[in-house]
């Protein structure tokens, strides 16, 4: 089985300050599409995946949380102890052999996590051996959740709240005492009440509107970018980064436009401007980069002449989370083309299909992807998986956005 035959998805795990500390890695066999929503991939898929794919590359050096089957617990492959967190599924039968294997893994230096923990079950016997307990936040009544958190904190166990989908959920679980959080709450708009938006957001919105204005000439766009010294410096750092491997240094915005094209410069300027928003996690920049690159890679197969447009669609899909405003309201302030707007709001057209595919893959909802439409365009599940991995690796190279 080659890497193209392995479907890989990842879900971020963040700490209380919304910094990414790990990813749960999910592997699916494209030979079993009906099982895309299963709790764990087969041992064979996992084994093949980790021989083909570097965990460190996929996670950017963060911890990799991986569901282990009984077979893998009994016969663990040679994964990195530093990067790996072994998840013990609640469906595993706790035979004497399995418990012994779990204890042995802990003694050998592996970090162990108990998945979907419910108090008062046979899995309580594993608590002395695990470092992390995952609590499925929506499935546990709040009064019982509070008791469980208090009990587990007394055992010096790190608590990870799963399926945290809103900022209200995040704040509740954080205040309760949970240490880590899993879900897509930070990639959705935060509902802000009782305070003004960050001071610099209006300036960022105005800058983006100017850069994206189709009526401006190239010289006017360059003037807009160079009027912001910080933006100019970061943009030059970016185009001179190792990711582009230019034989000579690019010394001006005008030269950058000539070499990379105005469409790409406009996209980079937009993303660099967004990175200056003060109260948003850096994870959002990573998400925006991955979405933009994945949409662009899909375009190379279905509409290569419009790859820059697809890049913009992926990039702008994060605007709601950056500005905490509905997409329709944001688009009213930005002079974007109808194709871009329709893709962002209605998932319409080929750019909309690329965005929908990217979002569903990101969220591990692989069975909701329109595989039939993609296959008509000669894109299969293995190619989409490879595209996702390429987007992750590419995003990890864009160090200018993390400065």
pLDDT tens-place string over residues 85-113: 999 988 889 999 999 999 999 999 999 99
Cα separation, 102 vs 92, whole angstroms: 11
Q: What confidence tens digit (pLDDT) does each residue in 257-293 have?
A: 887 788 888 888 888 888 777 778 888 888 999 999 9
DSSP-derived 3-state class of residue 113: strand
Which has more confidence, 279 or 366?
A: 366
Which residue is it, tokens 């987007």? 391
Mean pLDDT, the chain, whole residue set:
83
Cα separation, 403 vs 399, whole angstroms: 7
* pLDDT band for position 40 (cuts 50, 70, 90): very low
Compute φ and ψ for 308, nearest 5 degrees. Answer: -65, -35
Q: What confidence tens digit (pLDDT) does each residue in 146-163 have?
A: 999 999 999 999 999 999
Q: 29: exposed, middle or buried (C-beta count within 10 Å: 0-12, 13-18, 19+)?
A: buried
Neighbours of 38 (CB within 10 A): 13
What's the average model confidence in pLDDT over 31-39?
Answer: 44
Beta carbons of 14 and 180 less than 8 angstroms apart: yes
Q: Which domains does the chain have, with CATH numbers?
A: 3-187 (3.20.20.450), 201-402 (1.10.3210.10)
Contacts of 253 (CB under 8 A, 6+ apart): 222, 225, 226, 232, 235, 236, 265
Q: What confidence tens digit (pLDDT) does each residue in 372-392 have?
A: 999 999 999 889 989 999 999
> What pLDDT does residue 33 have?
46
Report the share of the chain in percent with pLDDT over 90: 38
Q: What confidence tens digit (pLDDT) does each residue in 175-211 have?
A: 999 999 998 877 776 655 444 444 457 778 878 888 8
> What pLDDT does residue 353 have?
98
- 11-15, 168-172, 229-233, 371-375, range with greatest mean pLDDT: 371-375
DSSP-derived 3-state class of residue 2: coil
Low-confidence winner among 63-77, 80-94, 195-209, 316-330 (lowest mean pLDDT):
195-209
Handedness of CA 247, 249, 252, 253 (dihedral sign): positive
Beta carbons of 73 and 34 less than 8 angstroms apart: no
Helix axes 262-274, 229-239, angle to 10 degrees: 120
Q: In sequence order, what DSSP letters do the residues of 123-138 get, joined into one string? A: GGGGGGG-SEEEEEGG
**Residue 2 predicted with pLDDT over 60:** no
Report the share of the chain in percent with pLDDT over 70: 84
DSSP-derived 3-state class of residue 53: coil
Cα separation, 278 vs 197, whole angstroms: 10
Helix (H) or strand (E) holding 12: strand 6-14
**Residue 125 predicted with pLDDT over 70:** yes
- Sheet strands (E) in 15-114: 20-29, 63-68, 84-88, 111-114
Q: Are strands 20-29 and 63-68 parallel, antiparallel or unpaired?
A: parallel
> What pLDDT does residue 80 have?
75
**Residue 402 predicted with pLDDT over 60:** no
> What pLDDT does residue 161 have?
96
Q: Where are the alpha helices (DSSP H) in 119-217?
A: 142-153, 167-176, 201-212
Cα separation, 127 vs 253, whole angstroms: 57
> What pLDDT does residue 227 have?
82
Angle at 238 between CA 362 and CA 203, to 5 degrees: 80
């Amino acid at each position: 089985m080659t890497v193209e035959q392995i479907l890989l998805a990842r879900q971020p795990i963040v700490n209380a300050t919304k910094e990414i500390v790990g990813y749960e890695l999910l592997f699916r066999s494209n030979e079993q599409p009906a099982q895309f929503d299963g709790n764990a991939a087969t041992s064979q898929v996992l084994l093949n995946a980790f021989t083909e794919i570097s965990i460190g590359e996929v996670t950017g050096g963060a911890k990799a949380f991986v569901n282990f089957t009984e077979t893998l617990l009994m016969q663990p492959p040679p994964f990195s102890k530093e990067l790996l967190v072994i998840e013990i599924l609640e469906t595993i039968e706790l035979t004497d052999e399995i418990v012994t294997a779990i204890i042995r893994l802990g003694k050998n230096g592996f970090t162990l996590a108990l998945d979907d923990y419910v108090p008062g079950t046979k899995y309580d016997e594993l608590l002395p051996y695990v470092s992390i307990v995952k609590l499925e936040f929506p499935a546990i009544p709040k009064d019982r959740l509070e008791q469980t958190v208090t009990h587990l904190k007394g055992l010096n166990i790190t608590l990870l709240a799963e399926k945290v989908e809103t900022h209200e959920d995040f704040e509740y679980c954080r205040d309760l005492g949970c240490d880590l959080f899993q879900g897509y709450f930070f990639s959705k708009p935060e509902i802000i009440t009782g305070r003004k938006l960050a001071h610099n957001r209006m300036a960022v919105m105005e800058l983006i509107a100017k850069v994206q204005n189709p009526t401006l000439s190239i010289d006017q766009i360059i003037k807009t970018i160079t009027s912001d010294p910080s933006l100019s410096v970061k943009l030059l750092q970016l185009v001179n980064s190792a990711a582009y491997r230019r034989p000579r240094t690019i010394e001006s915005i005008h030269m950058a436009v000539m070499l990379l094209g105005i469409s790409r410069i406009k996209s980079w300027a937009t993303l660099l401007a967004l990175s200056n928003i003060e109260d948003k996690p850096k994870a959002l920049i990573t998400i925006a980069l991955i979405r933009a690159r994945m949409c662009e890679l899909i375009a190379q197969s279905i509409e290569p002449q419009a790859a820059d447009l697809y890049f913009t669609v992926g990039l702008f899909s994060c605007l709601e989370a950056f500005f905490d405003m509905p997409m329709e309201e944001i688009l009213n302030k930005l002079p974007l083309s109808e194709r871009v707007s329709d893709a962002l709001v209605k998932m319409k057209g080929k750019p909309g299909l690329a965005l929908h595919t990217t979002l569903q893959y990101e969220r591990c909802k692989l069975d909701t992807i329109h595989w039939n439409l993609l296959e008509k365009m000669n894109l299969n599940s293995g190619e989409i998986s490879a595209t996702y991995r390429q987007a992750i690796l590419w995003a990890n190279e864009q160090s200018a956005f993390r400065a």
